[in-house]
Chain A
Amino acid sequence: EPEVTQTPSHQVTQMGQEVILRCVPISNHLYFYWYRQILGQKVEFLVSFYNNEISEKSEIFDDQFSVERPDGSNFTLKIRSTKLEDSAMYFCASSAEDGRREKLFFGSGTQLSVL
Chain B
Amino acid sequence: DQQVKQNSPSLSVQEGRISILNCDYTNSMFDYFLWYKKYPAEGPTFLISISSIKDKNEDGRFTVFLNKSAKHLSLHIVPSQPGDSAVYFCAASGLGGNEKLTFGTGTRLTIIP
By a beta-carbon cutoff of 8 Å, the part of chain A in contact with chain B is: 4, 6, 31, 33, 35, 41-45, 48, 56, 91, 93, 95, 100-109
Contact = CB atoms under 8 A, between A and B. Distances in A.
A109 B38 CA distance: 11
Interface stretch (B10-18, B53-61, B69-77, B102-110): B102-110
Contacts, number: 54
Nearest to B99: A101
B37 to A, nearest CB: 11
A107 B102 CA distance: 17
A56 B103 contact: no
B34 interface: yes
Nearest to B44: A106
B89 A43 contact: yes
A108 B43 contact: yes
A1 to B, nearest CB: 11
B49 A102 contact: yes
Nearest to A58: B100
Contact of B43 (A41, A42, A95, A106): A106
A31 B99 contact: yes
Nearest to B42: A108
29 contacts: A31-B99, A35-B103, A41-B105, A42-B89, A42-B103, A42-B104, A42-B105, A43-B44, A43-B89, A43-B91, A45-B100, A45-B102, A48-B99, A48-B100, A56-B100, A91-B43, A91-B44, A93-B43, A95-B99, A102-B32, A102-B34, A102-B49, A102-B93, A103-B34, A104-B44, A105-B46, A106-B44, A106-B45, A108-B42
B104 A104 contact: no
A105 B34 CA distance: 12
A109 B32 CA distance: 24
Interface in B24-49: 32, 34, 36, 41-46, 49
B86 interface: no
